[in-house]
Chain A
Amino acid sequence: MATSQQAIPPIGMLGRSVMTRRRGALLELGAEWFIRSTGLLTIVLLVGILILLARQGLRLFIELDYPVGRFFTYGNAITDNTTDPKEFKFGVMPPLVATFWVTVMTLVFAIPLGLMTAAFISEIAHPRVRLLIKSAAELLAGVPTIIFAFVGLALVVPRVNDYFGWGAGGLSGLTAGFVVSFVAVPLIISISDDAMQAVPVDYKENAYALGCNKLQAIWCVIMPAAISGIAAAVMLGMARAIGETMIVVILAGGNSSLPHDPTESMRPMTATIAAGFGNASEQSLVRPALYMTGAILFLLTFATTLIADTILERQRKRFGR
């Protein structure tokens, strides 16, 4: 055998060359650490958003002496430029409830539309149709929401006003939710289609082998198997609805008091920030109040996204993709 003795051979030319430093090795090391730091930048950004919003928002209670209880319970959200905490009439409850109504209305329209379309393109239609519809949905997702709002204002609002007379001349939470649903639908389609595609083919084949027809296979086998992906799709659509701003600014009506049902004119959190921030003076209590509202908005979408991702991760583990 070749290995009877363990003497280390003396170092030759080749060995010495292996130990020499490459030209520019230090520079490359620096560049690599720079690249690593950009990875951490994303965490810094996300944490930075929360910290900065909270810092600016908590001033309202700490420096400006606005009562915390009043902020969370007061039934109006008027953003006039007062510097006196006793005169300030801002509570986060009305915007929060308005956001809730708009989101619920969005989901009422978006869930059936999105899931049925996803089932159609994923299981029923020809793969080429699937590609076509997915592209169309993507284009739909790319249309600026301000244009949706404008078209909604021209097409949907007059009809809502004529037939139902809801809200302020057709501007209501329901109107806004209906239009927002077209923004949320592409997201729901895309993610739940992915989830249904991820269900192994054997599941379907087994269902057919047991004498199921296509509908039964979809309803009893594929949908239940893809349920976590579908749930995540709905959650992400919900996050999209919570954060949507321009449609809500223009179509929800803008009433700052507490809404009791979705057909009223209302002003959700995003719209409250958008409408009030530009006009607010530096000294007034408006900006801190809106920062605080923004922080709550951030936490809401953060939690929703986090839950959706946890669900998706479970689905991925289950089907290995």
Chain B
Amino acid sequence: MRETTTPGKQESRDGAQAVGVSLGGLPYRPAHSAETAPVVLRLDKVGVSYGNVPAVNDVSMDIYKNRITALIGPSGCGKSSILRCLNRMNDLIHSARVTGSVYLDGVDINSDAVDPVQVRRHVGMVFQKPNPFPMSVRENVAFGPKRQGTSGRGPLNDIVEKALRSAALWDEVADKMAQSGTALSGGQQQRLCIARVLAVRPEIILMDEPCSALDPVATLKIEDLMRELARDYTIVIVTHNMQQAARVSDYTAFMLASEHGVNGQLIEYGATNEIFTNPKDKRTEDYITGRFG
């Protein structure tokens, strides 16, 4: 499987322009007027409901390659629900129903022709609570590549080391490769989970409040790491820490629910500095100036 997907990936990685060209014919109006990066994910009227209760609806936005996009808003506004639409994680919740379309490089990932497992290989996810597998550090990182057919000690070791280096964890765990991943500290566990995702070489990484269970020092490390990773990856992060969004993201989407957990909506989406310095919507302004939420 790797063999078939790798060339395409390298092409799009090495020459971001390649995708840009293929998209170039369309008249995009980016969120930031100076944006030149291609769109990798387009949300078109996306909504999620649980049972008969609509959690969030009518979210339309573009996500740009190699940029960090932050989804902010008070808890219960549907940020996580939207994030989970981007790699079909909502499939796992029995009562969840997703409407609208999410285009990944031109393909609606909700269509029948698409295999959710393939989507998740390209769109990885890091969760709120660090969830390392109860196996060694090395096995944790090698798990994904192994299941996708990579075998042999040599290649696997290379992948593991590269992923751990990219996740800025290598120096800390190089001598603990055989130790259980669950024995690491919280921040290390979260970076291990990031390394685990990097090892399957996705294009996009979704992060669902990745720092909410961590202390400030570990949080800063993860934020630095995100800036580092944005050179190679597209990152979408959900956070309810506004400072974090301001510090790390290029784009910010502000979401709000009419009441807790019902009818969440996208209020405003734009370049982060514009949202934070010059919000167009009164509700956004209220939120970022701390008047509620």
Partner of B5, one of A5, A7, A11, A17: A17
A9 touches B26 (CB 8 A): yes
Instruction: Point out the residues of chain A lying under 8 angstroms from B106, CB to CB.
Output: 8-12, 15
From 128 to 157 in chain A, residues with beta carbon under 8 angstroms from any chain B beta carbon are: none
Question: CB distance A12 to B109 under 8 Å?
Answer: no
In this assembly, does B60 line the interface, its C-beta being within 8 Å of a C-beta of chain A? Answer: yes
Q: How many residues of B contact A (CB 8 A)?
A: 42
- With A3-B60, A5-B27 as contacts: A17 and B117 at CB distance below 8 Å: no
Tell me whether B60 and A20 are in contact (CB under 8 A). no
Assign chain A's interface to a size class.
20 to 34
Q: Does A19 contact B (CB under 8 A)?
A: yes
**Taking CB as reference atom, which chain A residue is nearest B62?**
A2
Selected contact of A22 from candidates B29, B40, B117, CB within 8 Å: B117
CB distance from B270 to the nearest CB of A (A): 8
Residue-wise, chain A 1-29 has the 8 Å CB interface mask toward B (1 for contact) of 11111111111111111111111010000
* Cβ contacts under 8 Å, B270 to chain A: 1-2
Set of chain A residues within 8 Å of B44, measured between Cβ atoms: 3, 6
For the complex, give the distance between the alpha carbons of A159 and B23 in Å.
95
Complex A-B: 26 CB contacts under 8 Å: A2-B30, A2-B60, A2-B269, A3-B269, A4-B29, A8-B103, A9-B39, A10-B106, A12-B23, A12-B106, A13-B18, A14-B8, A14-B9, A14-B203, A15-B105, A16-B8, A16-B107, A17-B122, A18-B115, A19-B107, A19-B114, A19-B115, A19-B118, A22-B115, A23-B149, A25-B117
9 tightest A-B contacts by CB? A15-B107, A13-B8, A14-B105, A11-B106, A3-B60, A15-B105, A12-B105, A2-B31, A15-B106
Q: A14-B8, A14-B40, A21-B115 are in contact. List 17 more A-B contacts (CB 8 A).
A: A3-B61, A5-B29, A8-B42, A8-B103, A9-B26, A9-B42, A9-B106, A10-B106, A12-B12, A13-B8, A13-B11, A13-B19, A14-B9, A15-B106, A18-B119, A19-B113, A25-B115
